[in-house]
Chains A and B, each alone.
Chain A
């Protein structure tokens, strides 16, 4: 089972996780920019974080045979803090970089006017930079937040196929599906979605435009729940090809629209989407990985 986790906050995880993820089949991932659990107080705190996402974390992942991508944005929670909002002016510098495969996480937390303003500006940035948008739906009033999200996407003139609306559940999936956006599901130990509920949604709606992620971060979460979902799909009668579509080909297709993927064959354009994703090299281990870009460490 090859796995592309389209939403996981690796900065909050240990190298043990990277090892377990590789062993479970994870070969690529996307780390969306989000908040730290502790509020930031300045733009500098964001830029240090963004620099880590396009620098150290990418290197750290490569040591374990995993290709790391990220998304960059001002998250909805901190869009409410005037000390943080000037980071919007710094974002274009990052949105041109290889491996930055979407603008995100944007969206709503408490549905405030400041959140809506940041959301609109960042949808415009996605359009300007030719990037997909990753939209976080709120923990509270998820249905209202999802409805307003879809309205703003339409008003901004963003192609629904360039948008993933994330953290969906049984109550919010239909509206997103009908609009033609990609549907993201975060599989969690307690909250959000679990593997068996995910399988039922796949049975009802099929595998098209579905992204399954672990959204693992500093909270109680599990980076291997993508693998658990694949296993639950097989147990429910889905084929290995269905699992591969959901856990690998779908996220590759969605993020390849950015033209900035860094998959193992070195291709960063969209060709991987049309022709099927390159198979990860089974021998691509830490030691075998070209961490020196051309020469081996040892």
Chain B
């Protein structure tokens, strides 16, 4: 499943870069991320509870940030498994100045398997997009006026 998009955040590139490298901001803004603790340089142990309505799964895994080109690019790798399936995802983030704001271009490629994929196939792409949308809305609020 491939997803991509562009979002504009109301802050300069350097500020956005600091925010998307800040474990607190990531923890606060990633929907369902209940734990993110550093285990090494750029690697974290993550606990994620994702779901819609009554269908919720908890996944335990690792999150790695690599290929950093400060302050405009990194790659993020997420691997996890839980009772209802497993997932592996890779994404890139590119920042570009747009006046006083920053354009964030993102791509993601997710593999989801197990029960949840068999049953939830129809909705996985849409739910993924919705969660990424929530992530950027949260960053926007964090970086917006009065932040």
A binds B: no
Residues on A facing B (Cβ under 8 Å):
none
Residues on B facing A (Cβ under 8 Å): none
